[in-house]
Amino acid sequence: MTGMRIGILTGGGDCPGLNAVIRAVVLSAGRLHGDEIVGFVDGWRGVLDNKSVQLDEERCRDIVQLGGTILGTSRTNPFVSSDGPGQVVRTLTSNNLDAIIAIGGEDTLGVADRLAAHGVKAVGIPKTIDNDLSETEFTFGFDTAVQIATDAVDRLRTTAESHHRVIVCEVMGRHAGWIAAYAGIAGGAAEILVPEIPFEVGEVCERLERRHAGGQFSSIVVVSEGAHPAEGPEADEARHATASETVDAFGHARLGGIGEWLARQIERRTGFEARTTILGHVQRGGTPTARDRVLATRFGVEAVAAVHDADFGMMVALRDGNIVRVPISAATRVPKTLDLTLMDVAAALTG
Ligand code: F6P
């Protein structure tokens, strides 16, 4: 069997399930097609620097359950320098690669899509804990992040009850409220605040006061890192308190801080003692759930099949429970924001 030589990379923020997908690509490519897989280290950085490792079955033994990525990752954008795309092409050519499989979110896959104009043959695999990629119902990594956040909410509840406190739990998700909505519903939070629905601090406090007047003496508020108050002086104040100078190579600001700002507001306005927990990178680390391992594995096998069908410029995706192929350009054009019917469900139960 004479196979192809296929490059693979993991880019952007890591997430649980990346090693499961690497393993699926290596094993299915080798066993079904006799392919060789070349792994670039640290995302597009490794392609620019021509730094790679040969991936085989031996290297992929016992990694399906492992968090992180054995290849490393970075938020490198080859389009930041004018010669970046040329350098990518030189690396792929010098390694005799027939195609590259890019595993990433909107940024990493957006690069793969733009590189098509330079002759790069790429297939994309969607990953991100944020679940904010369009054209796929779920990305792997999300399920694990939600489980971690839900476990945290469960734990916060018992300490909040003991001390009769409000605990604000800030979760990741960038500008999409998927993690907050799922973990908030699963954890029975009193309030769930997401970027898609700007909140009124006064209304949040009134609802908490009503709840406590009704006999509840503690509350969990789940707030997404990208959530913000509706326009007005509070929005300006919150923006100021959470502003970050740091932007990555794709122009994204580092988010964080809304939880602490909100806890201070709640304490000042209601008199309830309030604390904040920022879950941060805990949500990205450690063992993937079985659901994420299976989704990652299905994606990996389908991506190899797409390469063999010369279906370049496509991303594997989940639709109605099936693995399908969609254009990377459609998946990366606009982020997939939260399905707001979830907030209707939440509204029926929160408070
Ligand atoms: O996109 C995944 C994500 O974890 C976001 O939820 C978060 O805003 C961001 O990455 C954090 O990035 P970094 O790991 O660079 O701090």
pLDDT digit string, tens, across residues 21-76:
999 999 999 999 999 999 999 999 999 999 999 999 999 999 999 999 999 999 99
Two structure tokens written together for 111: 């690069």
Ligand 1 touching residue 184 (CB < 6 A) = no
- In three-state secondary structure terms, 153 is helix
Those residues with Cβ within 8 angstroms of residue 320's Cβ, 6 or more apart along the chain or in another chain:
137
**C-alpha atoms less than 13 angstroms from C-alpha of 1 in its C-beta half-sphere:** 11
Residue 251, pLDDT score: 92
The ligand 1 atom at the shortest distance from the C-alpha of residue 256 is 8
Residue 1, pLDDT score: 61
Residue 240, pLDDT score: 85
Ligand 1 touching residue 284 (CB < 6 A) = yes
pLDDT digits (tens, 9 = 90+) for 219-271: 999 999 999 999 888 889 888 888 888 899 999 999 999 999 999 999 999 99
Ligand 1 touching residue 279 (CB < 6 A) = no
**Residue having the nearest C-alpha atom to atom 15 of ligand 1:** 13
Annotated active-site residue 49? The verdict is no
Residue 348, pLDDT score: 93
Those residues with Cβ within 8 angstroms of residue 165's Cβ, 6 or more apart along the chain or in another chain:
159, 218, 272, 273, 274, 275
Question: What average pLDDT is seen over the chain?
Answer: 96
The CA-to-CA distance between both ends of the chain, in Å, stands at 62
pLDDT higher than 80, residue 196: yes
Question: Which residue in 35, 107, 113, 130 is the catalytic one?
Answer: 130
- Kindly give the distance from the C-alpha atom of residue 134 to the centroid of ligand 1, in angstroms, as a whole number: 18
